[in-house]
Amino acid sequence: MSAVLKSNEQAERKAYYDKIGKADVAPLWEVLHGLVIKEPKSPCQPAIWKWQQMRPWIMESGQLITAEEAERRVLILENPGVRGKSRITNSLYAGLQLILPGEIARAHRHTQSALRFVIEGKGAYTTVDGERVNMTPGDFIITPSWCWHDHGNPGNEPVIWLDGLDVQIVELLDAQFMERPDEKSQKTRGTAGSALARFGQTMLPLNYKASTSTSPLFWYPYDRSRGALEELKGAEDPHPSHGWKLQYVNPANGKSAMPTIGTYLQMLPKNFRGKNYRATDATAFTVMEGTGKVIIGDRTFEYEPKDVFIAPSWINYRFETTAESVIFSFSDRPVQQALDLWREQDAA
């Protein structure tokens, strides 16, 4: 309320607010212009987490606590605009998980969906509902809602991956469940290679009937995804903002691989001067290959492989590369699209 009030009017209103407030009632007119706003104004900020800084801290966490004690030994990437809320955007959680040789991160399941994007190291696996995947850098792996999963590292080097979860979406809806089985690791009945054979060749088993909307193909090996971008590079001009960019999909329904999180891989040519782009889905990126700058709003970040950065909702961003780059990203786009809320804007 901007009108100047006499002090008796002010006092009258305050007394009224206090009276109705005691019964959990509040006046809309005091808050309307913060609730229904002209365009997104996220408290989340552009930010980057440099691998050079993160790696020693992740390795240090390996000295402080075991995977067994921690259940999941993860450093959460907290958006600087909303610290203390375990989120990288308003709707999504991101963290860097470490598993050391010989360790097991025990089995559990939860209604939150998780994605893994493998950052560093070989020899670890994750088992999803009894199917085991060996994790290789650049692989995108899904742990669908309510599927059992445990991670292990029978190899001889530390393995680190980026976790992305829809924690805040599920929290918004108060639909969280989780449970732990008695055994720490699941018995495996096969490998994700068979999921790749069944679902990863633009073919489907004859009797396939989806029980959820999450992709039954839960392992997208890097060499295949990258290979697709390499083919595109030879076939068409890059998009002025995104270069060559593909989305990971559920091959059985053609929609987003996960119902709550959209996942993408893009390639940008060397010396690319990208045009500004913005969309309502705040997006977290991690660099697989290449170097350059990303300009997000009024911030400029130099990026290198394994860095993670965030472009908040409706803030312009663009890329300027110094080497050919391959970048993985994820956002809540499928949720916004399902609710008819998603908007994007290319540079004019």
Query: 127-139 b/e with 16+ CB inside 10 Å = b?
Result: bbeebbbbbbbbb
Q: Residue of minimal CB distance from ligand GTQ?
A: 163
69/236 with CB nearer ligand GTQ: 69
Q: How far is the CB of 121 from ligand GTQ (least distance, A)?
A: 16
**Of 114, 113, 83, which is closest to residue 97 (Cα–Cα)?**
114
> Cβ atoms within 10 A of the Cβ of 278, count?
22
| DSSP string covering 150-198 | EEE--SSS-EEEEEEE-HHHHHHTT---EE--SSSSPPP-EEHHHHHHH
Considering only 115, 165, 279, 315, the residue that binds ligand GTQ (CB under 6 A) is: 165
DSSP state of 337: H
Q: How many residues bind ligand GTQ (CB under 6 A)?
A: 9
Q: How far is the CB of 71 from ligand GTQ (least distance, A)?
A: 8
Does residue 115 touch ligand GTQ according to CB under 6 A? no
74/315 with CB nearer ligand GTQ: 74
Considering only 13, 50, 72, 184, the residue that binds ligand GTQ (CB under 6 A) is: 72
Does residue 114 touch ligand GTQ according to CB under 6 A? yes
Helix (H) or strand (E) holding 61: helix 51-64
Here the tokens at position 244 are 């060559």
145/266 with CB nearer ligand GTQ: 145
Considering only 97, 145, 241, 321, the residue that binds ligand GTQ (CB under 6 A) is: 97
Here the tokens at position 292 are 């350059």
Q: How far is the CB of 176 from ligand GTQ (least distance, A)?
A: 11
149/242 with CB nearer ligand GTQ: 149
112/336 with CB nearer ligand GTQ: 112
178/347 with CB nearer ligand GTQ: 178
Q: How far apart are alpha carbons 187 and 176 in whole angstroms?
A: 25
60/179 with CB nearer ligand GTQ: 179
- CB proximity list for 2: less than 8 A, separation 6 or greater: none
Does residue 74 touch ligand GTQ according to CB under 6 A? yes
Give the phi and the psi of residue 32 in degrees, each rounded to 5.
-50, -45
CA contacts within 13 A on the Cβ side of 190: 8
Interface map 124-163 toward ligand GTQ (x if CB under 6 A): -------------------------x-------------x
Q: How far is the CB of 345 from ligand GTQ (least distance, A)?
A: 32
Q: What torsion, rounded to 10 degrees, do the Cα atoms 206, 212, 215, 219 define?
A: -100
* Residues engaged in binding ligand GTQ (CB under 6 A): 72, 74, 95, 97, 110, 114, 149, 163, 165
